[in-house]
Amino acid sequence: MRAYDGPAIQTKGLVKVYRGGTRALDDVSFEVAPGELFGLLGPNGAGKTTAIRILVTLLRATAGTARVVGLDVVTQAVEVRRRLGLAMQNPTLDAFSTGRETLELAGRLQGMPSAAVRRRSDELLELMGLSSVAKKLAGTYSGGMKRRLDVAAALVHCPELLILDEPTEGLDPQSRTALWEELERINASGTTMLLTTHYMEEADRLCSRVAIIDHGRIVVDGAPSELKQGIGADTVVLQIESHGAPDRGVGDDPAEGNGGGVAGDPPVDPLARVRRLLEGMVAPGAVLAHPAGVSLAVPNAYAAVPGLLRRLESDGLRVTGLKVSQPSLDDVFMKYTGRRIREGAADQPLLLGW
């Protein structure tokens, strides 16, 4: 039933320089295969919405080309618009229309016959869990319901490609999970999907492939599992309370002395101390400062932790908290950009105490 060959989306060398000089996209090339659920993952201002606006023909690129369902977004813009469904970052629903009226209007705007519009609206209200509120005004819907209605409106004409800009932004965790499930179902029924997000866990859970975008450039793309495997190590974060080791950030009393326990010795940097103690067990470069204490990168954390703890404690360091995490897409982002995807992502509250 697919009316095109080749990728569902293909961009080559897209550049967008806004008036005023902001280079929002800087040589962006990527492809989305038919049937994929593809994620464009990046922090605020990375260029995600700019890329989407070019793909859906709302914005002209400064340079480069984009094809959507086999059509050029500049020379075949009208046809492109007919073939895709779009839910933008800030949905603009008419608060004084009911859910059903919203979908019926979307269908009529797509030129669908009224019987087909009614049938399709019923189907979508059901699919999106909105049947019971179909006759209520959209203005009275919760944030999650508005989002679902907006996605439903994008699906009225059964597009072969659905493009969603930050579909779950601002939703509470339950509404987000519910929408994820719906998006998975829609994708499983054959609709190709491109979504943007700055939630790593969303990209990880939903997307068969992601492209990580930062400052208008794609830094890496691939299946989330491949990208995470590329990190090659688990992370162990240790919260440490050393007996008599004055150090910064782990709450010791400097009056107690230092790691050697001899009052009056110069303070020992806890990071240096952990590095020294774990010599031969963990590469020195794999021990880093962490807001909670230190973090270690080790190939197999669960196997390594008992030995590491024994070594540290034998020298008077007391481990008061521990967190083991497998690589996340944030670690992938960190590897390629040197930064966390969201400010503060690294210093979430600690840890599993005991």
Ligand X SMILES: Nc1ncnc2c1ncn2[C@@H]1O[C@H](COP(=O)(O)OP(=O)(O)OP(=O)(O)O)[C@@H](O)[C@H]1O
Out of 28, 48, 146, 202, the residue judged to bind ligand X by CB under 6 A: 48
Question: Does residue 11 bind ligand X (CB under 6 A)?
Answer: no
Distance CA 181, CA 162 (A): 15
Look up residue 220 and give its two tokens.
């890496």
Stretches 45-53, 64-72, 271-279, 284-292: which one binds ligand X (CB under 6 A)?
A: 45-53
Q: Which residues contact 113 (CB under 8 A, 6 or more apart)?
A: none
Residue 331, H or E segment: helix 329-337
Q: Alpha-carbon torsion 296, 300, 302, 308, what sign?
A: negative
Supply the minimum distance, in Å, between the C-beta of residue 150 and Mg ion.
15
Cβ atoms < 10 Å from Cβ of 188: 10
Minimum CB distance to ligand X smaller for 294 or for 341: 341
Select 271 or 329, whichever has its Cβ closest to ligand X.
Answer: 329
Q: Which of 24, 54, 66, 268 binds ligand X (CB under 6 A)?
A: 24
From the list ligand X, Mg ion, none, pick the one residue 24 interacts with, judged by a Cβ distance below 5 to 8 Å according to partner type. ligand X
Nearer to ligand X, 72 or 169 (CB): 169
Determine, following the binding rule CB under 6 A, whether residue 50 of this chain makes contact with ligand X.
Answer: yes
**Shortest CB 217 distance to ligand X, Å:** 12
Report in angstroms how near the CB of residue 251 gets to ligand X at its nearest.
36
Site string for ligand X, 71-110 (x = CB under 6 A): ------------------x---------------------
3-state SS, 135-168, equals CCEHHHCCHHHHHHHHHHHHHCCCCCEEEEECCC
What residues line the site for Mg ion (CB under 5 A)?
48-49, 89
Query: Would you give the distance in Å from CA 226 to the centre of its chain?
Result: 15
Beta carbon of residue 157, minimum distance to Mg ion (angstroms, whole number): 24
Name 290's bridge partners.
293
Q: Spell out the residues 6+ positions from residue 347 whose beta carbon is closer than 8 angstroms to its own.
A: 290, 291, 292
Give the whole-angstrom CA distance, residue 128 versus residue 186: 10
Single residue of 34, 47, 246, 259 touching ligand X by CB under 6 A = 47
Enumerate binding residues for ligand X (CB under 6 A). 18, 20, 22, 24, 42, 44-50, 89, 198
